[in-house]
Amino acid sequence: MKTIYEESVPGRATLGIVLKDDPAQPGCADMLPAQMLRGAAPRLPECAEIDVVRHFTGLAELNYSVDANFYPLGSCTMKYNPKCTEAVSQLPGFARLHPMLAQLKAGEKACQGALQVLCDTERFLCEITGMKGFTLQPMAGANGEFTGVSLIAAYHQAKGRSRRVMLIPDSAHGTNPASAAMAGFTAVTVESKDGMVDPEALKAAVAEHGDNLAGLMMTCPNTLGLMETRLKEIVQIIHSVDALLYYDGANMNAIMGKMRVGDVGFDVVHLNLHKTFATPHGGGGPGSGPVGVCEKLLPFLPAPRVERRADGSYGFMIDSGKSIGRIGPFYGSFGVILKACAYIVRLGAEGIKRASEYAVLNANYMRRKLEDVLQVPFDRICMHEFVASAPEGMRALDIAKGLLELGYHAPTIYFPLLVHECLMPEPTETESKQTLDAFCDAVRKVVEDGRKDPEALAQAPRNLPVTRLDETAAARHMILTEDMA
Amino acid sequence: MPYIPHSQAELEEMLATVGVKTLDDLFADISPDMRPKSFNLPEGMDEGAACAFFEDLAARNRTAMASFLGAGYYDHNVPKAVDALAGQSAFYTAYTPYQAECSQGTLQAIFEFQTAIARLMDLDFANASVYDGGSALFEASTMCVRQTKRSRVVVDEAVNPVWRSMLATYTANQPIEIVTVPQKNGTSDVDALKAAVDGQTACVIVQNPNFFGVVSDFTELFAHAKSQKALSVISVYPVMQAVLKTPGEMGADVAVGEGQSLGLPLSFGGPYLGLMACRKSFVRQMPGRLVGRTVDTQGRTGYVLTLQAREQHIRRAKATSNICSNQSLCALRALIYLSLVGPQGLRKVAERGMALARYASQMLLALPGVTLLNDRPFGNEFAVCLPKAAAPLVDALIERYGVVAGYPVGRHYQGMDNVLLVACTEKNTREQIDRLVESLGGLL
């Protein structure tokens, strides 16, 4: 498809969309010294409104999306995004609100509805996770991870010690070690055993790093889709040296109403509202990654924090003086938080619990339906997702591309790295039995056809806007803008 | 249950396939003593009740006031086509475009966004965006630290204090030293900045217009930085970039900015859009996603996420950043906005705000005891000194007249309790300004 710049015609202006032309309006040259002005106008598209509408309607048609296709993408929780939560987020009473208004004394009174949304959301997330307090500031999951490990750093620093080692299981998401490094920690890998964190390996790590051990970052259920069966031991080992336990909430959709991470001993948790709480992924963002903490970490939470006062009004707490500072510019990705809040209000306790139950049911159903097609390494009940290897002699990548050709988004592939030619499907609770059956049939067909004609599978997908793209050439030639071409 | 499609018969059939009797049997790995101690969420609501609940909350926010609040976040008109086009569910319910063949819409849009931002900044390329203006400032700083292998970052105090406080939080546990050079009456102290930039400096960070609305030309400062082999970072307000001297023309190495003004609602603090552009030589140090143009097996043009070897899922602890998301949908909105207004439209938006700001400053200066904080050129925002503390006056104006006069800067700058920052956009009118001046005059 042509780019918007190729559609552009010099002099075709769409003035009037945002501003009626005013002949009396002074130009910038009348208002600023010449040396402060740019030499030439920026070469932005010059299009009529209809050109722009057709261009972006055309681009939308090139995309897969949850609204059009099943997206069994492991670790990403691509559940249906309810329309009513979108509508709520666009209410002008929220969308037009300036964040700094709330920082003025009289302005705080003008933002009571928005402040209540923040307060209610924090309260809901505390109840779902069993944590004592939340910050909604982190702007994505990885940003939440950084916040969480920074809180761990602050905890140890407040006790007058510098602990540098953060333990991370080999099955963890890549963001975990990257976030730990950003907060000044050395990421040390713990090898897992039969897909689980191994308490013996942990004990050895605790012995080795002793007074230098800050904490352990865990995903639970882990990235293989399995519940850690020796969690209590793990918690005990880490806490025995006053190190802290970090819970990566990527897989929270598996356990809501079944286990609260705060109850079982986790000290810090981040959630991904764009996964578990049904806010849309937006083609890669915006996300939101709130962080919850146990009692002893409350004073370190990012400032400012919102509270409900004795008189029923909402406002900001007095700063504890120990806060790690500001993670986001204000109170978080409010528009995203609002959608998650609306989702929780809509579902309530029973609906939230059901979401996890049906997510796990769907994953197990799919696991059973596919165990004679793919190689499923762990023959046991999985949680909301499971891992499988491509059949002998086949590549996960080819199966993924074959599925695209049949109209399905591919599962996550090549993650976790522990599993050979890994495919990781996560169906979520919002998909019907018919959808799962049809998807499993498609996997079967791709594998059978691929056996008969590997050449054809290696060419898939052949019916999409483009075939497989030359990624090596992209990295070599680095055409990142129209002008680098 | 809302959003769960299973019938009772299907539920039973699926449980049988899995080989368990009840849904709770699926959670046998969670022992009884690990089950929730409580789960006291409210009961669910039907769609109508849930929407009414939030409509009621929305009505408790006062958004109809005449407002001159800016301070880095501006209330501009957003063309309806932005909402309509970015609101297509093929964009907003899509995932990150890892599977390029079924994500060409998102990928091409990001490529076009990267082009628009690079051209606006007059630099070689831009990334697919980061979270917001503050995180962009941090990512730029660490990029310069990596590139120069130096650890000192010199920051102008006239850079937005919210973003500077984020920079402090993010670098707290990194071997990076932040040196803040005090502003003088709301102007950037270029001589002091030059003196602070030496052979140990990784980069110098300034903002244009600065937090106080002052417009500057930093060419000389950036030339000095270059002579010290330090890098230059400038944070800009993208709407004003339609007319202002560009980061490229001033010799900056990296340009960042808060992209909210390009078609995003204020939305009480987010989601926003971090802009980041730089010179080609830093491409392998750039954080975040990048989309590149390539060809498919049949030679057709297509787009992919590229240079992923910089990123956390490959490099883990050694990645250029832990960033995983970009603000894709926000970037799409900015691209659609820029496509709709075009270069002339963006210039008109900038000029209208500037003209109104000039009218507002003249009118305010006519009030007794009101002076400008400095005599420097400004864009669509300016700082005035009032004869008494600004914050209580702003509160009184909100309560009595429904006018938000601006932002009292005293909470961020010591000794500036009387200073008020006033912003105008094309949404403001002369009538609103007259009301502001009249009501403020009555309180002085």
The percent of chain B in helix, strand and coil, each rounded to the nearest 5, is 45, 15, 40
Q: What is the pLDDT of residues A68-113, one digit of tens each?
A: 999 999 999 999 999 999 999 999 999 999 999 999 999 999 999 9
Statement: residue A485 has pLDDT above 90: no
Residue A417's pLDDT band (boundaries 50, 70, 90)? confident
Q: Is B12 on the interface with A (CB under 8 A)?
A: no
Q: Is A284 on the interface with B (CB under 8 A)?
A: yes
DSSP A159-218: TT----EEEEETTS-THHHHHHHHTTPEEEEE-EETTEE-HHHHHHHHHHHGGGEEEEEE
Portion 333-352 of A in contact with B at CB < 8 A: 333-336, 338, 342, 344-352
| Among B24, B44, B63, beta carbon nearest to A347 | B44
Which chain A residues are closer than 8 Å to B178 by Cβ?
none
What values do phi and psi take at B227, rounded to 5?
-65, -25
Q: Is A478 on the interface with B (CB under 8 A)?
A: yes
Alpha-carbon gap: A478 to the closest alpha carbon of chain B (Å): 6
Which chain B residues are closer than 8 Å to A287 by Cβ?
325
Which chain B residues are closer than 8 Å to A404 by Cβ?
99, 101-102
C-alpha to C-alpha distance for A15 and A472, rounded to whole angstroms: 42
- Of residues B30 and B323, the one with the higher pLDDT is B30
Q: What is the pLDDT of residues A431-442, one digit of tens each?
A: 999 999 999 999
- CB of A228 within 8 A of CB of A199? no
Contacts of A20 (CB under 8 A, 6+ apart): none
Residue B364's pLDDT band (boundaries 50, 70, 90)? very high
Interface test with B, best of A9, A22, A54, A64 (most B CBs within 10 A): A64
Residue A454's pLDDT band (boundaries 50, 70, 90)? very high
Which chain A residues are closer than 8 Å to B125 by Cβ?
480-481, 484
Residue B298's pLDDT band (boundaries 50, 70, 90)? very high
How many Cβ atoms are within 10 Å of B372's Cβ, its own excluded? 16
Q: What is the mean pLDDT of chain A?
A: 95
- Of residues A22 and B146, the one with the higher pLDDT is B146
Mean pLDDT across B261-279 = 97
Alpha-carbon gap: A181 to the closest alpha carbon of chain B (Å): 6
Residue B328's pLDDT band (boundaries 50, 70, 90)? very high
Cis amide leading into A329 (omega within 30): no
pLDDT of residue A16: 63
pLDDT of residue A347: 98
Q: Is A468 on the interface with B (CB under 8 A)?
A: yes
C-alpha to C-alpha distance for A90 and A93, rounded to whole angstroms: 8
Q: Do B349 and A18 touch (CB under 8 A)?
A: yes
Kindly calculate the radius of gyration of chain A based on its CA atoms and give it in whole angstroms: 25
pLDDT of residue A11: 85
What ipTM was assigned to the predicted interfaces of this complex? Answer: 0.97
Domains and CATH numbers, chain B: 66-76+342-441 (3.90.1150.10), 80-336 (3.40.640.10)
pLDDT of residue B1: 78
The span from the first CA to the last CA of chain B, in angstroms, equals 60
Which amino acid does the sequence have at B243? V
Q: Is B244 on the interface with A (CB under 8 A)?
A: yes
Domains and CATH numbers, chain A: 4-60 (no CATH), 87-345 (3.40.640.10), 357-471 (3.90.1150.10)
C-alpha to C-alpha distance for B230 and B103, rounded to whole angstroms: 39
Q: Is B170 on the interface with A (CB under 8 A)?
A: yes
C-alpha to C-alpha distance for A478 and A347, rounded to whole angstroms: 46
Alpha-carbon gap: A76 to the closest alpha carbon of chain B (Å): 9
Partners of A308 in beta bridges = A314
Q: Which two tokens stand for residue A315?
A: 């406002």
Q: Residue A14: which of B346, B116, B82, B345 has the closest Cα?
A: B345
Which chain B residues are closer than 8 Å to A281 by Cβ?
93-96
| Among B23, B354, B411, beta carbon nearest to A361 | B23
What strands, in cross-sheet order, belong to the sheet with B381-385?
B371-372, B381-385, B419-423, B407-408
Q: Is B105 on the interface with A (CB under 8 A)?
A: yes
pLDDT of residue A15: 59
Q: Is A288 on the interface with B (CB under 8 A)?
A: yes
| Among A87, A93, A264, beta carbon nearest to B34 | A264
Portion 267-326 of B in contact with A at CB < 8 A: 267-272, 280, 283, 289-298, 300, 302-304, 306-307, 309, 311-319, 321-326
Percent of chain B with pLDDT over 90: 95
Mean pLDDT across B366-379 = 98
C-alpha to C-alpha distance for B384 and B372, rounded to whole angstroms: 4
Q: What is the pLDDT of residues A325-362, one digit of tens each?
A: 999 999 999 999 999 999 999 999 999 999 999 999 99
Which chain A residues are closer than 8 Å to B274 by Cβ?
none
Scanning every residue of chain A, which has its alpha carbon at the shortest distance from the alpha carbon of B390?
A: A104
Mean pLDDT across B366-390 = 98
C-alpha to C-alpha distance for B262 and B358, rounded to whole angstroms: 22
Alpha-carbon gap: B424 to the closest alpha carbon of chain A (Å): 14
Residue B6's pLDDT band (boundaries 50, 70, 90)? very high
Portion 193-222 of A in contact with B at CB < 8 A: none
pLDDT of residue B21: 98
Alpha-carbon gap: B59 to the closest alpha carbon of chain A (Å): 6
Q: Do A401 and B395 touch (CB under 8 A)?
A: no
| Among A91, A229, A258, beta carbon nearest to B55 | A91
Scanning every residue of chain A, which has its alpha carbon at the shortest distance from the alpha carbon of B304?
A: A471
Alpha-carbon gap: B205 to the closest alpha carbon of chain A (Å): 18
Which chain B residues are closer than 8 Å to A461 by Cβ?
101-102
Mean pLDDT across B228-256 = 98
User: Which of A174-188, A257-271, B239-253, B298-312 bottoms out in mean pLDDT, i.e. has the lowest?
Assistant: B298-312
Cα-Cα-Cα-Cα dihedral sign, residues A57, A58, A63, A65: positive
Interface test with A, best of B15, B101, B336 (most A CBs within 10 A): B101
Q: Is B411 on the interface with A (CB under 8 A)?
A: yes
Alpha-carbon gap: B38 to the closest alpha carbon of chain A (Å): 7
Q: Which two tokens stand for residue B127?
A: 């990334």
| Among B101, B103, B342, beta carbon nearest to A14 | B342
Scanning every residue of chain A, which has its alpha carbon at the shortest distance from the alpha carbon of B12?
A: A361
C-alpha to C-alpha distance for A290 and A285, rounded to whole angstroms: 15
pLDDT of residue A14: 64
Q: Residue A354: which of B371, B324, B11 has the closest Cα?
A: B11
